[in-house]
Homo-oligomer: A and B are copies of this chain.
Amino acid sequence: MKIPVAILGGTGSVGQRLVGELGEHPWFEITELCASDKSAGKTYAEATHWILSTPIPDSVCSKQVLPCSLPVKAKIVFSALSSSVAGPIEEEFASAGHIVISMAKNNRMRADVPMLIPEVNPEHLNLTRLQKYPSGGMIITKPNCSVIGLAMALAPLEARFGIESVNVVTMQSTSGAGYPGVPSLALFDNIIPYIEDEEEKLEMELGKIFGTFSDSGVIPHRMTVSATCTRVPVTEGHLEIASVKFRNKATLADVKDAWRNFGQPKFLEGLPHAPVRPIIYSDDVAFPQPRLHRDYEKGMAVTIGRLRECSLFDFKFALLSHNTLRGAAGGAVLIAEMLAKSQFKASQFCCQGCVREESTRSV
Binding site for B on A (CB under 8 A): 13, 51-55, 165, 167, 169, 171, 174-175, 177, 179-194, 203, 224-226, 228, 230, 232-235, 239, 241, 243, 285-296, 305-306, 310-313, 316, 318
Q: How far is the CA of A294 from the CA of B190 in the complex (A)?
A: 10
- Judge whether A183 and B179 touch: CB under 8 Å: yes
Copies of this protein in the complex? 4
- Judge whether B189 and A234 touch: CB under 8 Å: yes
Most B CB contacts (10 A, CB to CB) among A52, A193, A235 go to: A193
- Judge whether A295 and B53 touch: CB under 8 Å: yes
Given A171-B230, A288-B193, check contact A187 B186 (CB 8 Å).
no
Most B CB contacts (10 A, CB to CB) among A194, A289, A293, A311 go to: A289
Q: How far is the CA of A208 from the CA of B184 in the complex (A)?
A: 33
Q: How far is the CB of A283 from chain B (nearest CB, A)?
A: 12
In the complex, chain B residues whose CB is within 8 Å of the CB of A312: 165, 167, 224, 226
In the complex, chain B residues whose CB is within 8 Å of the CB of A184: 174, 181-184, 186-188, 233
- Judge whether B189 and A189 touch: CB under 8 Å: yes
Q: How far is the CA of A174 from the CA of B311 in the complex (A)?
A: 28
Q: How far is the CA of A233 from the CA of B175 in the complex (A)?
A: 16
B52, B234, B241, B291: the one contacting A169 at CB < 8 Å is B241
Q: How far is the CA of A226 from the CA of B312 in the complex (A)?
A: 7
B191, B295, B305: the one contacting A290 at CB < 8 Å is B191
B174, B193, B203, B316: the one contacting A188 at CB < 8 Å is B174
Most B CB contacts (10 A, CB to CB) among A55, A186, A287 go to: A186
Most B CB contacts (10 A, CB to CB) among A175, A180, A293 go to: A180
Look across to chain B and name the residue whose beta carbon is closest to the beta carbon of A292: B53
Known: A53-B294, A175-B185, A193-B241. 13 other contacts (CB 8 A): A165-B312, A180-B180, A180-B186, A183-B183, A184-B233, A185-B235, A188-B234, A189-B290, A192-B289, A193-B289, A194-B306, A225-B311, A226-B311
Look across to chain B and name the residue whose beta carbon is closest to the beta carbon of A194: B286
